[in-house]
Structure 1
Amino acid sequence: MEFALDQALKSYSGGLGFLAGSHMKSVYALRQNLIGVGMLWKYGYYDQGRKRDNSMEPQFHEKIYHFLTDTGINFQIPILGKQVWVRAYYLSPEVFKTAPMFFLTTDVDGNDEEMRAISYSLYDSDVTMKVAQCMVLGIGGAKLLDELKYQPDIYHLNEAHAVSAAFYLYQKYKKLPELKKRLVFTTHTPEEAGNEKHDISFLENLGFFSGLKMDVVRKITGIKDNIFNHSLAALRLSKKANGVSKLHGEVSRQMWKSYPGICEITHITNAQNNTYWVDETLEKARIKKDSKAISGRKKELKSVLFKTVADQCGKIFDPNVLTIVWARRFAAYKRPDILTWDVERFKKLLDNTDMPIQIIWAGKPYPKDEGAISTFNHLFYLSHYFDNMAVLTGYELALSKLLKDGSDVWLNTPVVTREASGTSGMTAAMNASINLSTYDGWICEFAKDGENSFIVPVAEGDDINKTDCDNFFDLIENKVLPTYYKNQKEWQRITLNSMNDVNEPFNSDRMAREYYEKLY
């Protein structure tokens, strides 16, 4: 559904897109035989603006891309009893140094307004519209390859959004073994309840199953009741699947083990593209093991970031002051505001003049997630009381790069086991930012507390939120700040360890190779 390939192409919302974008860049670098198929969103995800009272406002502006080529390929797929026109645009590999990419849109002549709107906004909040989007991606993506007369050995479903492709392909190949040997699936969801489900008759009426009779759909998916679980169907129709970290692979196998007929689930840990994300000066200093050069460059990069802070917030931050950044999608389980839960300790932390601190938040909630938007607004209004606290809008690739370049500490606060992988901390570490995190997702494969990161203990008991909150404060007050201000040699050692430890294992070139070796 989303690819974050470049700031100029608004075809993503957050981490899933960042991951897919890095994958496509590594495909280009490794010259792998793979193409990407996504959606061309007329309004992107959304533009993160502010209302007159400065509360967050999702805004929707049309995007125009002259670097995309109209392929001239137009075809129809049935949705809600209508024949919907789909047009394919092409992104040449040389534009953003990616795999060859195709983007599908229904915003074409011949469609009524309802059908044109399918490709207006990523993750439409209307259930029918969102499923229709998945159908254009899945059925439309598979049909596009037929229109191109391109016969892939493998179709890779990245999340279950495109699982409708499986039913189109079953119509084509007629036999389940012929389908399964061509289909692989990546799951990104660590909880069974988080997997998308719909009434099977609702999907049939939409045309989700490409005209297959319901007894055939039930037979090949093993679904006996009226609830169609998209991920479960993908696991039963694929030859192999993967979770996106070692821990997530274990969680996924445990989660699905009671369901008969699912495929093998391995793991391929997410990664990010070094070439795109890493600051060249920092990388040269890392290779030379020149901690002094790393520290000097880091202050320069902080100064660049702080121009954005001044522009958006009217605050002048100091590059000599320890700067913590929390930046990713705003969601309840990620707990962006955890440090504000203890009001007294938070105020004491920000008022500390002996070991001062600066904290920056950024990230986009889903545009209809009122709880997450409320949290974002609460942090913004709270920042009015502190000159060293900033909340930024416009968290896309460009701002993400600035924040990772300009942070000393990358704060990661999800409830343990809720984060399938997470990737933002990888690119922060590549740019000399130390992860301060709960022990979850990719961190479990990377972190060595006190050696390359700062890790809070796994919380136990009835109130893990309070325990985690207390532990984060303890770590910041007793380890992070004293090390930064009183033992720079130790800080530099941890920073260099972090940069070295993240460099190869969490480079998406490794990930792209593993997809070929372990999944395809």
Structure 2
Amino acid sequence: MTNFRNYQVPYQADERYSKKVAYFSMEFAIHQPLKIYSGGLGFLAGSHLRSAYELKQNLIGIGILWKNGYYDQARNQDQTLQVTWMEKTPGFLEDTGIKFQILIHDAPVWVKAYYLNPETFNSAPLFLLSTDLPENDYVSQTITHRLYDANVATKVAQFILLGVGGARLVDELNYSPDVYHLNEAHGVSAAFYLLNKFRNIDMVRKSMVFTTHTPEEAGNERHDIYLLHKMTYFCGLNIDEVRRVTGMPDDMFNHSLAALRFARIANGVSQLHGHVSREMWHKYDNICPILSITNAQNWRYWSDKQLYRAMEENNDWAFDDRKRHLKKRAFEIVADQTGKLFDPNVLTIVWARRFAGYKRADFLTQDKERFEKLLSNTKHPVQIIWAGKPYPSDYPAISTFNNLVHLSKNYKNVAVLIGYELTLSKRLKQATDIWLNNPRVPREASGTSGMTAAMNGAVNLSTDDGWIPEFMDHGHNGFVVPKADYAHMTVHEQDDYDLNQLYDILEKQVLPLYYDNPDTWKQIIKNGMRDVRFQFDSNRMAQEYYDLLYKV
């Protein structure tokens, strides 16, 4: 039986990684049955915990047990998106027996801690907090019902639970971390808890590090400072004291700015994003240094080992056979959901990730003439699959999803899938020949879906954003839209330029190579698989966190 009152990781930590770390994240995508994630942030945190386990790092994860998850993506009668909520009951979590109260809105709220044992899914230990308890009133119970609740007060309560509740849990465990690592600023209320505990802001700074994933100021969450105060976000500090320790000039409290002032050091999640972040925040004073540690994904979990084996043995027959099998298997999901039979011999393009405006999900459809030409090309046929979950209250993104559903009804070779979670993500990456990624530069902090696509024999076609500049060698391991002078372009000009370039690359390079020069195509796939193997395996990333961020 685990001793949760003097908790230690249940394996011998490697001496290189002996420093104790508590890693706070609003979401973790560790394995399909544990649906407590929405998208990239969760996928990243899940891979981080898997690599921490592989490397035997002295790290624990702190998150929230979302009773209804993010949401379940269903369909209305006309196949458009329906948001549904279903209770999740993960029977594989251990009850730690730890229960305590924290103040939210000046009232005590009971918090219970659950535990994901490292052996269950091969991840570092993960503690998940819940307020869904009979001791709490209904409103307090709903704090942990939905990830990123649309109600502002509920969302603030979730931030308090992660930060204050997480820091309190660490004390209940007697874990005494050397480092409190905030993955995004959702948990920055932990700093106020620690300030209360240490009575010394330098001690808070010494122990806190911060990872920012948001490359634009508007995307960083801000809340009314008086609302936060009323909700006991600041752990008893009055507004004047809060202003003094955080340097917030106005009535809007910027969580990321607070994190950058409380942390000893911070990082962006790609080389480009580190640069963008330093540019973005340098006008504020008392900001900690911002490094770059490029996001990565866990190779052991994501990659198709048989493809890699065939590549290493130089067995092209086995390589082709495996890729064809992977496509065929995934196309059964397409057929099951849409009634469309896709052909494993046809070039397949997949766009799949969270639906968000800047990611431009429906980008290819913006030029109707070229889109039509692409889909009706009999010499070089294509199939296109879209999938992804918009935020349940992001109505423009839901509208984009639904427009694609309606559009897909006109074509046998276009499909829109629901249920884009870890399992479908893996299947689609195995199914695709071209993993399409076309965010507006420089709005993608890192983007990691293309890494796991490359680990499954897919070729990236991307705008030059996020991690792509560190990976891409055009025509050698993938295809990239050459950067233009975006800073001096309107959004409309940028979109026009990118779309023309994408279509040119598809029509003049990708399709002829795939159909007329299969050996070169195969070489591009293999180069991508090799280039992603170590540099973008999260073991490298998890090690860099110890080497660059956690060391004092």
Give TM class, smaller chain: over 0.9
Alignment correspondent of 1:60: 85
Residue 280 (str. 1) matches residue 305 (str. 2): yes
Aligned equivalent of 1:237, options 248, 262, 270: 262
1:508 equivalenced with 2:508 (yes/no)? no
Alignment of 1:43-192 (within 5 A): 43-192=68-217
2:347 aligned partner, one-letter code: L
In structure 2, which of residues 55, 62, 67 is the aligned counterpart of residue 37 of structure 1?
A: 62
CA distance in 2, matches of 1:425, 1:498: 10
Query: 5+ unaligned residues in a row in structure 2: which ranges?
Result: 1-25
Q: Secondary structure at the match of 1:181?
A: helix
> How much is the aligned-residue C-alpha RMSD, in angstroms?
0.9
Superposed displacement of residue 142, structure 1: 0.3
- Once the two structures are aligned, what percentage of the paired residues are identical? 59
Give SS of 1:435's match.
strand
Give the TM-score normalised by the residue count of structure 1.
0.99
The reply on whether 1:258 has 2:298 as its aligned counterpart is no
Would you say the 8 A contact 1:294–1:432 is kept in 2? no
Deviation at 1:458, TM superposition (A): 2.1
- Partner amino acid for 2:505? L
Q: How does 1:197-236 map to 2 (within 5 A)?
A: 197-236=222-261
Cα deviation for residue 199 of structure 1 reads: 1.4
1:459 shift after superposition: 4.0
Q: Counterpart in 2 of 1:480?
A: 510
User: Which AA in structure 1 matches 2:64?
Assistant: M
Report the Cα distance in structure 2 between the residues aligned to 1:67 and 1:324, rounded to whole angstroms: 37
- String of CA shifts for 1:4-35, please: whole Å, max 9, x gaps: 00000001001110000000000110000000
Q: Is the 8 A contact 1:154 1:183 kept in 2?
A: yes
Residue 495 of structure 1 is matched in structure 2 by 525
In 2, Cα distance between equivalents of 1:486 and 1:249: 40
SS at match of 1:179: helix
Count of residue correspondences: 520
**What's the counterpart of residue 446 of structure 2?**
421
Q: Using the alignment, how far apart are the partners of 2:313 and 2:219 within structure 1? A: 45
1:406 Cα deviation after fit: 1.0
Hey, what's the Cα distance between the residues in 1 that align with 2:249 and 2:502? Answer: 46
Structure 1: tracts of 5 or more residues without a match: none
Inter-partner Cα distance in structure 1 for 2:207 and 2:328: 50
Contact 1:42 1:120 survives alignment (8 Å):
yes
Q: Tell me by how many angstroms 1:269 deviates.
A: 0.2
Measured against aligned partners, the alpha-carbon deviations of 1:128-185 in whole angstroms (never above 9, x if no partner) come to: 1111101101100000011111110000000000000000001011111111010000
Query: Quick one: distance in 2 between partners of 1:512 and 1:312?
Result: 37
Matched residue type, 2:549 = L
Residue 227 (structure 1) shift: 1.6
More displaced stretch, 457-466 vs 359-368: 457-466
CA contact (8 A) 1:286 1:499 kept: no
Structure-1 separation of matches of 2:320 and 2:234:
57
1:118 and 1:426 map into 2 onto residues whose CA distance is 34
Q: Which amino acid aligns with 2:215?
A: P
Distance (Å, rounded) in 1 between the aligned partners of 2:178 and 2:56:
17
Q: CA deviation at 1:325?
A: 0.5
**Equivalents in 1 of 2:218, 2:70: separation in Å?**
24
Q: Is the Cα contact below 8 Å between 1:286 and 1:500 reproduced in 2? A: no
1:231-280, Cα deviation, whole Å (9 max, x unpaired): 00000001000000000000001111111101010010000000100111
Distance 1:427 1:491 in 2: 19
**Deviating 4+ runs (over 6 angstroms):** none
1:26-49, Cα deviation, whole Å (9 max, x unpaired):
011000000001000000000000
Q: Cα distance, 1:365 vs. partner?
A: 0.2
How do 1:295-306 and structure 2 match up within 5 A? 295-306=320-331
Q: 3-state SS of the aligned residue for 1:169?
A: helix
- 1:439-473 superposed Cα distances (whole Å, 9 cap, x missing partner): 00000100011110111122444411111111111
